[in-house]
Structure 1
């Protein structure tokens, strides 16, 4: 697996990482044994950039990584996030970015992850009640104390990124970016280029939709995609019809549609001139290998042109509630 430096300054990471969220929640029944096998295989094959958050599984995902990878801490780059609190309502998200909570959350994550240092610490969402300078200042204190190496932000606007970067260098921004989600290219990605900040696209496979293998009716009852606008009803059917050029490119390369979607994200690094490190998630070893192989797929100019119009034609928002995203109300 090739590597890149994620931001200036930033950690050296493989050009594709592993999103661990689905190992503990949101995508149906947990299978910790399968997830542990996948985590070990990831490290053995060079997929050593692991992404988690304190809200995934209400801390269970961080505990899984800490337990599964004990004794191998020097083999991977660890990213986690803070700032989204859970309540008894499974769908409710509370956002906190006050300085006291930043420290409280970091200490709790360090314990669950069974580590002395977090390589990349993200603010998961912006607390609009707290100046971002306060939040990032508290994060910077963690860097000064050696508990965190680099700082990241998730789902921020270009203005928020600028203000945060003025307080302490930001190494990476994580937001959704894929063939069907490209709003970050309007302002956030150009600002990353200007500031020397890396970009980590989450859901680069459109939560599996871009693989062409996800049928809503077949998903488990507790799979959150059953309630996502782009997956359901007439919008889901319309969006599925947009995948024809993805399928055509896959056939031309002897690849899967998912590999084409990942290759497209990888090639955005060339277009924008910044490190772009997608983090597709999986709990299965064979899917990890499939995703990793996408780094060697090179799309032609004609194929890229055929894929260009997908995002503009997609029907439905990427979340049922866009309030907490960089494309939400505060960005307008």
Structure 2
């Protein structure tokens, strides 16, 4: 079935740019991936583009516009055509510096204009509300300001980057937008049953975020304990979440025997699902981008390997599910 705003074909491997926002502190707590310099970010992006990546995901809140600015600078240096840029809005700081969520029509217009300037583009190919609450009142939220921006040529498509698959399901039920960015990886496959089994999913393009399970689907953690810098959000993960991610990743050790190892195989898992339009792993350096490119080259995993993944890690922990 054709998808809105352009037919969906085979899933493409893109790149996420949360990491280019730096530590991104809220108060004294980092919500990002630690320090990184612009030259490294630009080299990483250019390498990804030169390697065939045509989907870049970013957000205005990643480093208070820093990630968007660096993406814009990288795109200006590239001659590649047909690159889709997806950005997000809704998280800003108030006059006192506190983080607030604002999805109002007034801020929407302000945020779009600011993102266009930073990205140095005439149109935002995809604009998403950034992590609204799962219980957001979609019934009374007016999509007309977004439609007006489409008519003006400032955005191509719009939708939601959801906190959880449960919030994404409510977006689908309300029929808001045409793009949904959702958590999907070899450890957390809830989107398959909660979203993609629903006929309403046919009206959406899906972007798979967190495809490497916050970096836990990595060969290095099969044999060593992770130690995360204090300026990275992973340093502050609750112990029960950290332990589940680590132990569950180790249940997939058989993927490390495939070409490229565990992380490449995990990306291939996401690319294997026909419901997925784009997969957006983050990359902090050229080496990571080059390794991720192997996933696109190798393509989807064999069905027997996918079934082995399902058997090894049957479900997510109870604390990740709503209490109803």
- What is the TM-score normalised by the length of structure 2? 0.82
**Does the alignment pair 1:286 with 2:304?**
no
**Secondary structure class of the residue paired with 1:139:** helix
Q: Output one character per residue of 1:214-272: Cα deviation in whole Å (capped at 9) or x when no partner.
A: 5675321111011123xx3x653454333345321331x23210011111111122xxx
Residue 182 of structure 1 is matched in structure 2 by 189
Residue 21 of structure 2 is matched in structure 1 by 24
**Does the alignment pair 1:149 with 2:150?**
no
Q: 1:79 to 1:278 in 2, by over 3 A?
A: same
Q: Output one character per residue of 1:11-56: Cα deviation in whole Å (capped at 9) or x when no partner.
A: 7797110001102221111121111001111111110210000110
Q: Tell me the CA shift for residue 315 of structure 1.
A: 4.5
Residue 27 of structure 2 is matched in structure 1 by none
**Equivalent position to 1:299, from 277, 301, 306:** 301
Q: Tell me the CA shift for residue 206 of structure 1.
A: 0.5
Q: How does 1:1-332 map to 2 (within 5 A)?
A: 7-10=3-6, 15-25=12-22, 26-70=32-76, 72=78, 74-86=81-93, 93-126=99-132, 131=138, 134-155=141-162, 156-165=167-176, 170-191=177-198, 194-213=201-220, 218-229=227-238, 232=239, 236-251=242-257, 253-269=258-274, 274-295=275-296, 296-309=298-311, 311-315=313-317
Q: 1:237 to 1:185 in 2, by over 3 A?
A: same
Q: Tell me the CA shift for residue 276 of structure 1.
A: 3.3
Q: Is the 8 A contact 1:21 1:281 kept in 2?
A: yes
Q: 1:248 to 1:63 in 2, by over 3 A?
A: same
Q: Is the 8 A contact 1:216 1:225 kept in 2?
A: no
Q: 1:286 to 1:227 in 2, by over 3 A?
A: same
Aligned partners of 1:6, 1:68: CA distance in 2, in Å? 32
Aligned partners of 1:10, 1:280: CA distance in 2, in Å? 23
Q: Output one character per residue of 1:43-75: Cα deviation in whole Å (capped at 9) or x when no partner.
A: 111102100001100111111112232254744
Q: Mind listing any 5+ residue stretches in structure 1 that lack a counterpart?
A: 319-326
Q: Is the 8 A contact 2:213 2:245 kept in 1?
A: no
Q: Mind listing any 5+ residue stretches in structure 2 that lack a counterpart?
A: 23-31
Q: 1:239 to 1:60 in 2, by over 3 A?
A: closer
Q: How many matched pairs?
A: 305
Aligned partners of 2:171, 2:220: CA distance in 1, in Å? 36
Aligned partners of 2:2, 2:231: CA distance in 1, in Å? 35
Aligned partners of 1:32, 1:316: CA distance in 2, in Å? 40
Aligned partners of 1:89, 1:205: CA distance in 2, in Å? 35
Q: 1:275 to 1:211 in 2, by over 3 A?
A: same
Residue 321 of structure 1 is matched in structure 2 by none
Q: Output one character per residue of 1:139-189: Cα deviation in whole Å (capped at 9) or x when no partner.
A: 111101011111121114323223244xxxx33210111122233333323
Q: Output one character per residue of 1:264-285: Cα deviation in whole Å (capped at 9) or x when no partner.
A: 111122xxxx343110010211
Q: 1:125 to 1:217 in 2, by over 3 A?
A: closer
- What is the TM-score normalised by the length of structure 1? 0.80
Q: Is the 8 A contact 2:219 2:256 kept in 1?
A: no
Aligned partners of 2:36, 2:173: CA distance in 1, in Å? 39
